[in-house]
Chains A and B, each alone.
Chain A
Amino acid sequence: MVLEIVSIAYLLLICLGFFLIPGRFRIYLLSIASLLYVIYLDLISGAVLLGMSLLVFAGGMGIQRLKELQKKHAAAILLGVLVVLTALAVFVQKTPLLIMFIGFSFYGFQAISYLADVYLDRIAPEKNPVKMFLYLAYFPKLVSGPIERKGDFDRALEKVKTLKFWELSRLKSALIYLVYGISLKMVIADRLLVFTSRIFGAYSDYESFTLILGALFYTVEIYCDFAGYSYMAFGISKLFGIDLNINFKTPYCASNITEFWRNWHISLSSFLRDYIYIPLGGNRKGFGRKLIFVGIVFVTCGVWHDYGLNFLVWGLLHAVYSMIDNILARFGIEWLRKGIIGRILTFVSVAFAWIFFNSASLSDALEYIGHMFTCGIDPAYFSAGFLATRKDIIEFLLSIVLIVAVLVFDRLSYRDKDIFPSIISRKSVLTFCVCFFAMLFAIAVIGIYGPDYDSANFIYMQF
């Protein structure tokens, strides 16, 4: 959901209706709520989503029917046509010639995974068109994912009919995920955006120190923005008893790039693994081909995000990182893939690649990097530009404190092999309440909202 007062009011209304109506109607309520939500965002996107769900519904039934008639080749062709058309639509709608449809990148991939899973007999085709629509359009995850699998989603829906409002552990979990997500987004990500938008928007005016700081700030910003949204989606969905998949698990604590991609945008990376990497052959066709398949996966990942050479290069960079990591692992060079060295190398590599992600174009990214390495380090220049007033100094210091806080929380969570909101939801009532109210207080007082700030929408909404 987009973070607005209207959205919050809408969510409360849906919750009220959800727990007042009989359980068997709840799925229909959520479907109507999702449809109204997407129409509110954009009427045409609503129409496209409806059309897409009908197409996928019919496609799944068609594939199953052809298989039952022993026409496996026809089923494969139908699958292929639908998958190719959907994939093309996902990528083509990002080109400047066309209008992007809200959430299409996410539910487009969901549609592909559903059709493939039906063909591979992993799941039965959906016989209820409303449930099909809900799977694609479910409003907490519509705008920025996660990319759910139909089987997982169906299992999550099983509890909906009999769900009672007052289940303390569920409500605690929902609230802490929601508040933590909002904190990451509104307190940290949007705060850092104030710096990164200035730095990336006028990089030729700055020297190396400022540009390095800009890249580091953006590294934390995109994580807090995207992970914040994902936690919010998880928390909102938890209110309805539907457990979405966790999309981020302390990715910046990873010791190598392979581990990073196991913990960053997990739903996308697992989709690419299951529906591109493994079907191509995975690691079953020799090491050389494995590296090629890894490259294809990351190039796909890059162009999935957006149209532009800078995104292609971002994907290529991660392809190179992954290939190098695979080679290091194959030859047992573990000291570069573990411990503090591994973590630093991984973090710096990822931060460097984000420069391409956040730049307006490839040439901008290359110029940014060029300036970063050639303009000389002059912190006084940064002070003059960003620490001119008392307000600026306070904002900067606060940003540093918050960055340290989120990295420390993640580090502690990584040590416990868990994520921060999950740990807090299981703690004592006192710890839970202190953390919950502290975050709520931070959102209220230092959150980035109000007429002084533009409504900084989620970075990943544009994808």
Chain B
Amino acid sequence: MKKVIIVIVTTSIFVLALIAAKIMLQPKTNDGIMQSRCLYDQPGDSIDVAFLGSSHVHCDVNTAFLWENYGIAGYDYSAAEQPLWITYFYIKELLKTQSPEVIVLDTYAPVRYKDDYQYRWLNDNLCGINMSINKLRMLEASCEMKEWTNYCPSFVNYHTRFRELGMKDLKALFEKSSERAAFKGFTPYYRCVPQQKPVDCVPAGEGITPKSEKYLIMIIDLCEEENIPLVLMATPYCYTAEDLSGFEDISAIAETSGVPFINFNNHVDEAGIDYETDFYDWSHLNYGGSIKFTAFLADILEENYELPDRRQDSKWDSWNIHAERIASGLSYDPE
């Protein structure tokens, strides 16, 4: 009996040590990992508008501004260069615990990136997702079979971080769920780098790939099945002629499917976006730009969808904390 107790106790200590190591070692970047991880800490059925897609979402869609000025409980459930096949499974993951009124999908990634397997930001897209059948399907769609063991379990990928642990990682051991709940995905960039406004050009190139098209249609069908309105969009950035071909394809699919597609690059003047002051780099808006863009987006959403104002409801307190943090500059710093 004593031996059995010893085995149970030592096994338990081992498991706890592994869990602690996992918490400390897992990356805490804001390029998708925190966005997907903190989703699990959101109160159930609290997200009214889910924004999905690439880093254009979590840099440009200012969820704090959305909350403070419109009372809309938005969440930037996005990751760097997220391809549509990952977005599809992100939506499935989202719907496990949330029932959004609207899903807004940014289409920059499928328009810009044409490889069927994209590894550059795959870690940031996968690491924050809990292990499940859905994650395994996400993995299967995202990388070749010979790479599976490099990305699943995610621990395989990030265990080497023991060489770069810092206070942030130690604090993560004691972080409460309520702390993570106050993160809504929005990651403000404050730097200002003036950009050239794109000139009018003729679409060139081949448009989106068959794989992206397949998953875009799957996303549209999924939202229809779940009775969730879907809005396709493109946030303002310095696009190219090749991107325009992609947007043409997206627009055609959207029209066929009866889904709205708003290319905000065509509405920068209406939104008041200034290429001299509102950009962090050629691809992302800075904090000032995010406010202008989000205001414009929010007006469109309010005009077309019934989105409740949650500001007086205590269930949505975490959005108040989120807004306070963004206002004070105390948010997750971009790495």
Report which A residues bind B (CB closer than 8 A).
4-5, 390-391, 394-395, 429-430, 433-434, 437, 440-441, 444-447, 449-452
Cα of A446 to Cα of B21 in the assembled complex, Å: 11
With A395-B163, A445-B162: A440-B14 Cβ-Cβ less than 8 Å: yes
Q: What total of chain B residues lie within 8 Å of the partner, measured CB to CB? A: 23
Which B residues between 1 and 33 are near A, CB-CB below 8 angstroms? 3, 6-7, 10-11, 13-14, 17-18, 21, 25
Which of B36-44, B153-161, B177-185 faces chain A? B153-161
Residues of B within 8 A of A440 (CB): 14
Cα of A447 to Cα of B156 in the assembled complex, Å: 10
Which of A391, A440, A441, A451 has the most C-beta atoms of chain B within 10 angstroms of its own C-beta?
Answer: A451
With A437-B14, A450-B150: A391-B164 Cβ-Cβ less than 8 Å: yes
Cα of A450 to Cα of B6 in the assembled complex, Å: 32
Q: Are A447 and B163 in contact (CB under 8 A)?
A: no
Closest B residue by C-beta to A430? B6
Cα of A429 to Cα of B7 in the assembled complex, Å: 7
Cα of A282 to Cα of B79 in the assembled complex, Å: 71
Report which B residues bind A (CB closer than 8 A).
3, 6-7, 10-11, 13-14, 17-18, 21, 25, 147, 149-151, 155-157, 159-160, 162-164
Residues of B within 8 A of A449 (CB): 156, 159
Cα of A446 to Cα of B158 in the assembled complex, Å: 11
Q: Are B7 and A444 in contact (CB under 8 A)?
A: no
Closest A residue by C-beta to B165? A394
Cα of A86 to Cα of B100 in the assembled complex, Å: 72
Nearest Cβ on chain A to B117's Cβ, whole angstroms: 14
A433-B10, A437-B14 are known; give 10 further A-B pairs, CB within 8 A.
A395-B163, A429-B3, A429-B7, A430-B6, A441-B18, A444-B21, A445-B25, A449-B156, A450-B156, A451-B150
Residues of B within 8 A of A390 (CB): 163-164
Q: Are B10 and A5 in contact (CB under 8 A)?
A: no
Residues of A within 8 A of B3 (CB): 429
The contact sample of 10 A-B pairs, CB cut-off 8 A, is A391-B163, A394-B163, A429-B3, A437-B13, A441-B21, A445-B25, A445-B162, A450-B156, A450-B159, A450-B160
Nearest Cβ on chain B to A173's Cβ, whole angstroms: 16
Residues of A within 8 A of B163 (CB): 390-391, 394-395
With A433-B7, A433-B10, A437-B10: A452-B160 Cβ-Cβ less than 8 Å: yes
Cα of A5 to Cα of B160 in the assembled complex, Å: 18
Q: Are B164 and A441 in contact (CB under 8 A)?
A: no
Closest B residue by C-beta to A443? B159
Nearest Cβ on chain B to A175's Cβ, whole angstroms: 12
Cα of A433 to Cα of B18 in the assembled complex, Å: 15
Cα of A433 to Cα of B6 in the assembled complex, Å: 8
With A5-B149, A390-B164, A440-B14: A445-B159 Cβ-Cβ less than 8 Å: yes
Judged by DSSP, the binding face of B is: helix
Residues of A within 8 A of B25 (CB): 445
Nearest Cβ on chain B to A122's Cβ, whole angstroms: 43
Name the one of A437, A447, A450, A452 contacting B11, with C-beta atoms under 8 angstroms. Answer: A437
Q: Are B155 and A444 in contact (CB under 8 A)?
A: yes
Name the one of A5, A429, A447 contacting B159, with C-beta atoms under 8 angstroms. Answer: A447
Closest 10 CB pairs of A and B: A433-B10, A437-B14, A451-B150, A391-B163, A450-B156, A429-B3, A394-B163, A5-B149, A429-B6, A452-B160
Residues of B within 8 A of A450 (CB): 150, 156-157, 159-160
Nearest Cβ on chain A to B225's Cβ, whole angstroms: 35
Residues of A within 8 A of B155 (CB): 444
Name the one of B21, B150, B151, B164 contacting A445, with C-beta atoms under 8 angstroms. Answer: B21
Residues of A within 8 A of B147 (CB): 451
Cα of A312 to Cα of B147 in the assembled complex, Å: 40
Closest B residue by C-beta to A5? B149
Q: Are B10 and A451 in contact (CB under 8 A)?
A: no
Cα of A95 to Cα of B155 in the assembled complex, Å: 41
Q: Are A434 and B160 in contact (CB under 8 A)?
A: no
Nearest Cβ on chain B to A390's Cβ, whole angstroms: 7
Cα of A223 to Cα of B3 in the assembled complex, Å: 34
Residues of A within 8 A of B151 (CB): 451
Residues of A within 8 A of B157 (CB): 450-451
Cα of A45 to Cα of B162 in the assembled complex, Å: 40
Residues of A within 8 A of B162 (CB): 394, 445-446
Nearest Cβ on chain B to A225's Cβ, whole angstroms: 20
Cα of A445 to Cα of B21 in the assembled complex, Å: 8
Which of A394, A395, A429 has the most C-beta atoms of chain B within 10 angstroms of its own C-beta?
Answer: A429
Residues of B within 8 A of A444 (CB): 18, 21, 155, 159
Residues of A within 8 A of B17 (CB): 437, 441
Closest B residue by C-beta to A395? B163
Nearest Cβ on chain A to B151's Cβ, whole angstroms: 8
Closest A residue by C-beta to B14? A437
Nearest Cβ on chain B to A396's Cβ, whole angstroms: 11
Cα of A450 to Cα of B148 in the assembled complex, Å: 11
Q: Are B21 and A430 in contact (CB under 8 A)?
A: no
Q: Are A434 and B10 in contact (CB under 8 A)?
A: yes
Nearest Cβ on chain A to B192's Cβ, whole angstroms: 31
